[in-house]
Chains A and B, each alone.
Chain A
Amino acid sequence: MEKLIKGIQRMETEKISSTSDKPARPFLPKGGLAIRYTRFFILAFLIVFSIAFYYTFSYTRAILDEDALQRASNITDLTIARISNVIRPVEQVPSTLSTALESDKPDYGMIADLAKEFVLEDTVVFGSAMAFEPYMHDKKHYRYCPYVFETGDTVIERDLSSAEYDYFKQDWYRIPKLTGQPVWSEPYYDKGGGDTLMCTYSVPFFRQKAHERVFAGVITMDISLETFMHILKSARVYETGFSYLMSRKGIMIAHPHTEYINKDIRKIIVGESDKATDSVINLMLQGKRMFVKMRDLTHVQVPSWLYTAPVPHTNWIFAITFPTRELYSGLYEFFRKLAVIFVISLLAMILLTILITRRLVSPISRLVDATRRIGQGDFGTELPSYRSKDEISQLTNAFSHMKGELVHYISNLEEATAAREKIEGELSVAHDIQMGLLPKHFPKRDDWDLAALLDPARAVGGDLYDFYFLDDDHLFIAIGDVSGKGVPASLFMVSARTLFRSRISLGVPLNQSVYEINKEICRENPNQMFVTFIAGILDLKNSCLTYCNAGHNPPFLVKPTGKTMKFSDVHGIPLGIFEHATYSSGTVLFSPGDAFFMYTDGVTEALNSEDDFYGEERMLEIVGLNADLCPSELMHKLESDVIGFMKGVDQADDITLLILRSKQMPGQETKATEMKQIRLLNKLGELNRLVANLEQLAEEWEIPAKVSMELNLILEELFTNIVFYAFDDGRDHEILLTYTRPSENSVQVQIEDEGKKFNLLEKDTSNTVNHPVEERQIGGLGIHFVKKLVNEIRYERRDGKNIVILIRNY
């Protein structure tokens, strides 16, 4: 054993050297744990980071929005304050002047000087005019309108009271006159006055005339809009954000893009007007303070924020606007950097995961390699050692144990296989020998034909059949089935066959021979095996088969018509069971064309894939349908039907058949059909044979049951009479019964014995019946029955024989 293992190991070492230069393991084996874990981690990482990313982004944006609102609001407040600072003195001075002009005798020179001084000093005020109602200044002038304005560092005075200019019709004069209130004009380009874009603040002044306040004229202050441009320039947010100032009517007062000044805001906004924009503009012009998102930056179509608020005292609106993306540009920048960090860390994580997993998995991979080599039969492969005590280590230990077991198992298996191969070789020889023992060919004869086959389920079987001629007129036939299968059964079978061959002889009655054989088998049967058996001796001349069935399946007689007759009688228990078992025998009378059919249970118990038995019924059907065939054809027909039935299912038991057939010869038919013979010994036990034989005959000749029973009664009486009284020597004697059919409805039986003379007709049986019980003789009753139950009875004493002839009609 050890040698064998070493041998295996040596072989394996050679194999290793041939397999060691195979390609290295891929860095990431497809479907390996590394890829799977990495995939899993990436997914988890992506989910977690996406959530965090989204949350941070939203939160930051909200903060930025809040911050932008704050900034815009602050800038707006600041800018509005600055604008107010510019405007307040512009509004105060004219009011002061108008008060001076409303006195009874105004000092025009002083007023004009004041105005001049103001125009010169104030940076915003560009010019100032005093326009009077007709003849309100003096009686000479219809129009009077002195105007001072700044050019460079000097102030120039000019009169605007030309008929062409006609200041009465100008807005700056007309509107205060109508409303009686100071008013800021819309921006306009003054051609006659300052020749520049300006806004004019007009304050009306009045005179007291006969207790009535009468409109006397207007004092104006022209301001240059350029001042506001400077203010707005500093009111900026973000990159391209800007602010603008417009009147309540939507006319631009100040705008970083000068071309828009004096234009309506609705015309500035490019693209199609939409409801959202319109409503925002309306709200703006109503003077609402608000922070809204617009689709337009007033001149380019960029989504933007707008903060707007009214300028107090004036009718002006201040607005500051900036593109949304600039508000978020920092945010976007931040997230761009974040994304880069994210990608880098993701890559790092993937790499780490792969490295860690590979590190974790590598012992498994090494184990897999080793196991694969072991699987290929390389038992010399060392399993990788692994120091820690985790699951992988346990797995390695389990594999190591398995390897040991495997080596052990395989060496056992190889031994067993070698042994089995040897046995199988021997079995094949045994099979040939066993088959060689079986007689194959029945000599060609005119009167009898025989065929037999044995299909063993394994190499050797426990079934047997045999046939050989005892002399010219006697043929021995046998079939048997040893309990169990295989070699023991086949050896037992061979020994049984040998015993039969040596013990059967014509001088000894068959049942006696079987008795002796059984005794012999029992004597040397340590394994308590047994064999069911039918042995028969055919008297070729008389067409009479004497047979003994020792616990075997019942044989059949197959008539040429297809009718089958079963011989259910068993003449003893199977051979080899009980040393003192006794055996009787039966008789079969052949008519020409009759076939005697014997089989083993391998036929009827053949199984198909549905676990159904082939069965006696199907067997008899096939046999009956092919009754006209010769034995060997019939046999092969049945064999192929059984094989067809099994449909490839392994044969479970030996299949054995033996068919003996009396050939039909012309002219012989009638005679043989009408006559049957049976030879009985002068033993009480032979009564069973007599009865069985009579039952067979009754069935064959279709004798009614009642008649058959009465014949039985008669023959039993006559037979027992002979057994009890005919012989004194205690030896075996033969009693011959011959049945014939004188007509369709009658049976004739002739009983011959070599015993003492006994004429039953001379026996007086008259007192047997009609006496009272007390006086009745016991005995004689049987003879009485015989006489009563037959139609005709004859007695002869011939050649030292008693011959009784009975005829029974029905």
Chain B
Amino acid sequence: MELIEKKTEKCVIIGINGRLDTINYSILEKRLTELLDQNVTKILINCSQMDYVSSSGLRILLMALKRITMVKGKFVLCSLQENIREIFEISGFTTIFEIHPNEEDALGVF
């Protein structure tokens, strides 16, 4: 897995490239924790290149969402692949996360 990070005026965009699973979720965890510790409160996760996500991966996303909600920030996902979207639905995460079909729409909410 690879993380591709972009800073815009509105928010930080993190692209997840590859598989997000039990072995490598800690990379994402570490990065998100760093950002949150720096008081970054607006984060967009672009999932267009994310081929796979395990429950460990989902847990990190959930953790980030919880911490940002507490400080009234915004944590948004976009561009989920069809298979991944189904996982999100099964796990009920679609109701918890704000998910946009593409990055442009997602940027509009910040």
A405, B60: Cα distance in complex, Å: 78
Which chain A residues (749-795) contact chain B, with CB distance < 8 Å? 768-770, 773-774, 776, 778-779, 781-782, 784-785, 788-789
Bound-state Cα–Cα, A769 to B92, Å: 5
Taking the complex as formed, is B87 at the interface, i.e. its CB lies under 8 A from any CB of chain A?
A: yes
* B10 within 8 Å of A (CB atoms): no
User: Which B residues, 44 to 67, have Cβ-Cβ distances below 8 Å to chain A?
Assistant: 51-52, 54-56, 58-59, 62-63, 65-66
- The yes or no answer to A717 lying at the interface (CB within 8 A) is yes
Residue numbers in A under 8 Å from B90 (CB-CB): 784-785, 788-789
The answer to whether the Cβ of A712 comes within 8 Å of any Cβ in the partner chain is: yes
Flag if A720 contacts B59 (CB, 8 Å): no
Interface size class of B (residues with CB under 8 A): 20 to 34
Is the CB of A685 closer than 8 A to any CB of chain B?
yes
Chain A residues near B39: list those with CB within 8 A.
none
Once A713-B52, A717-B54, A785-B55 are accepted as A-B contacts, the answer to whether A685 and B91 lie under 8 Å apart by CB is: no
The 8 Å CB contact of A773, one of B55, B56, B96, is: B96
Can you name the residue of chain A whose Cβ is closest to the Cβ of B53? A713
Q: Does A139 contact B (CB under 8 A)?
A: no
* Interface 1/0 per residue, A678-694 and B, CB below 8 Å: 00000011011000000
Tell me which of A685, A768, A769 has the highest count of chain B C-beta atoms within 10 A of its own C-beta.
A769
CA distance A84 to B108 in the complex (A): 148
Cα–Cα, bound, A713→B90 (Å):
12
Contact A684 B22 (CB under 8 A): yes
A788 to B91, CA, bound (A): 9
Bound CA span A768–B55, Å: 12
- B102 in the interface (beta carbon within 8 A): no
Q: Bound complex: CA of A688 vs CA of B52, how far in Å?
A: 13
Contact of B55 among A684, A685, A770, A781 (CB under 8 A): A781
Q: Verify A684–B54 contact, CB threshold 8 A.
A: no
Report chain B residues within 8 Å CB of A688. Answer: 23
When the two chains form their complex, are residues A770 and B92 in contact, meaning their CB atoms are under 8 A apart?
yes
The answer to whether B63 touches A778 (Cβ under 8 A) is yes
Confirm or deny: A326 has a beta carbon within 8 angstroms of a beta carbon on chain B. Answer: no
How big is chain A's contact interface, by range? 20 to 34
In the complex, chain B residues whose CB is within 8 Å of the CB of A768: 91-92
Q: A709 contacts B83, CB within 8 Å?
A: yes
Q: How far is the CB of B4 from chain A (nearest CB, A)?
A: 22
List residues 696-742 of chain A with CB under 8 A from any CB of chain B: 705-706, 709-710, 712-713, 716-717, 720
**Contact between A774 and B66 (Cβ–Cβ < 8 Å)?**
yes
Residues on B with beta carbons closer than 8 Å to the beta carbon of A773: 62, 65-66, 69, 96
A709–B23 touching, CB < 8 Å: no
In the complex, chain A residues whose CB is within 8 Å of the CB of B91: 768-769, 781, 784-785, 788
Interface presence of B103 (CB below 8 A): no
How far is B22's CA from A341's CA once the two chains are assembled, in angstroms?
Answer: 118
Closest to B60 in A: A778
Interface SS of A by simple majority: helix
- The reply to whether B23 and A685 form a contact with Cβ atoms under 8 Å apart is yes
Task: Pick the contact of B87: A684, A720, A785 (CB < 8 A).
Answer: A785
Question: How many whole Å from A720's CB to the nearest CB in chain B?
Answer: 5
Residues in A with CB closer than 8 Å to B83 are 705-706, 709-710
Interface residues of B in 67-92 (CB under 8 A from A): 69, 83, 86-87, 90-92
- Pick the contact of A717: B23, B55, B63, B92 (CB < 8 A): B55
Residues of B contacting A: mostly: helix
Q: Given the complex, which residues of B lie within 8 Å of A789, measured CB to CB?
A: 90
Instruction: Bits for B22-54, please: 1 = Cβ < 8 Å to A, else 0.
Output: 110000000000000000000000000001101
Cα-based distance from A32 to B84 in the complex (angstroms) = 93
Most buried by B among A706, A770, A779, A782: A782
Taking a contact as CB atoms closer than 8 A, the residue among A709, A710, A716, A776 that contacts B62 in the complex is A776
Q: Contacts A709-B52, A713-B87, A788-B90: A687 and B58 contacting too (C-beta < 8 A)?
A: no
Tell me, rounded to whole Å, the shortest Cβ–Cβ distance linking B55 to chain A.
Answer: 4
* B56 CB contacts on chain A under 8 angstroms: 720, 782
Residues of A within 8 A of B21 (CB): 687, 716
Bound together, the chains give a CA A778 to CA B56 distance in angstroms of 9
A712 touches B52 (CB 8 A): yes
**In whole angstroms, what is the CA distance A788 to B58 when docked?**
16
In the complex, what's the smallest C-beta–C-beta distance from A497 to chain B, in angstroms?
Answer: 33
Please report the C-alpha to C-alpha distance between residue A260 and residue B103 in the assembled complex, in whole angstroms. Answer: 140
- Nearest opposing residue in chain B for A783, CB measure: B55
- Contact call B22/A720, Cβ cutoff below 8 A: yes
A774 in contact with B69 given A687-B23, A781-B58 (CB within 8 Å)? yes
* Contact across chains for B22 and A778 when beta carbons are under 8 A apart: no
Whole-angstrom CA separation of A782 from B59 in the bound complex: 10
Partner of A684, one of B23, B51, B92: B23
Contact B63–A716 (Cβ < 8 Å): no
> Which residues from B are CB-within-8-Å of A785?
55, 87, 90-91
A709's nearest neighbour on chain B, judged by CB, is B83
Kindly list chain B residues whose C-beta atoms are within 8 Å of the C-beta of A770.
92
How many angstroms between the C-alpha atoms of A5 and B52 in the bound complex?
Answer: 77
Residue of B55, B56, B62, B90 with highest tally of chain A CB at under 10 A: B55
Pair A716/B22 contact, Cβ less than 8 Å:
yes
Q: What's the Cα separation between A768 and B93 when bound, in Å? A: 10
- Contacts of A778 on B, CB cut-off 8 Å? 59, 62-63
Closest to B92 in A: A769
Q: A380-423 interface mask toward B, CB cutoff 8 Å, 1 = contact, 0 = none?
A: 00000000000000000000000000000000000000000000
How many whole Å from A420's CB to the nearest CB in chain B?
52
Query: Inside 8 A of B54's CB, which chain A residues have their CB?
Result: 713, 716-717, 720, 782
Instruction: Please determine whether B59 and A781 come into contact, CB atoms closer than 8 angstroms.
Output: yes
Chain A residues with Cβ below 8 Å from B96 are 773, 776
**Chain B's nearest CB lies how many Å from the CB of A57?**
104
Query: Which of chain A's residues has its CB closest to B82's CB?
Result: A706
Q: Min CB distance, A690 to chain B, in Å? A: 10
- What's the nearest-Cβ distance from chain B to residue A571, in Å? 14
- For B66, the chain A residues whose CB sits under 8 A away are 773-774, 776
For A716, list chain B residues within 8 Å (CB): 21-22, 54
Residues of B contacting A779 with CB < 8 Å?
Answer: 59
Complex-state Cα separation, A788 to B88, whole angstroms: 12
A717 and B86 CA atoms in complex are apart in Å by 17
Q: How far is the CA of A217 from the CA of B106 in the complex (A)?
A: 166
| Given A706-B83, A768-B92, A773-B66, 11 more pairs with CB closer than 8 A | A684-B22, A687-B23, A706-B86, A709-B51, A717-B55, A770-B92, A773-B62, A779-B59, A784-B91, A785-B55, A788-B91
Q: List 24 A-B contacts (CB under 8 A).
A: A684-B22, A684-B23, A685-B23, A687-B21, A688-B23, A706-B83, A709-B51, A709-B83, A710-B83, A713-B52, A713-B54, A713-B55, A716-B22, A716-B54, A720-B22, A773-B62, A773-B66, A774-B66, A774-B69, A776-B66, A782-B56, A784-B90, A785-B55, A788-B91
B residues whose Cβ falls under 8 Å from a Cβ of A: 21-23, 51-52, 54-56, 58-59, 62-63, 65-66, 69, 83, 86-87, 90-92, 96
- In order of increasing CB-CB distance, the 5 nearest A-B pairs are A769-B92, A782-B55, A781-B55, A720-B22, A788-B90
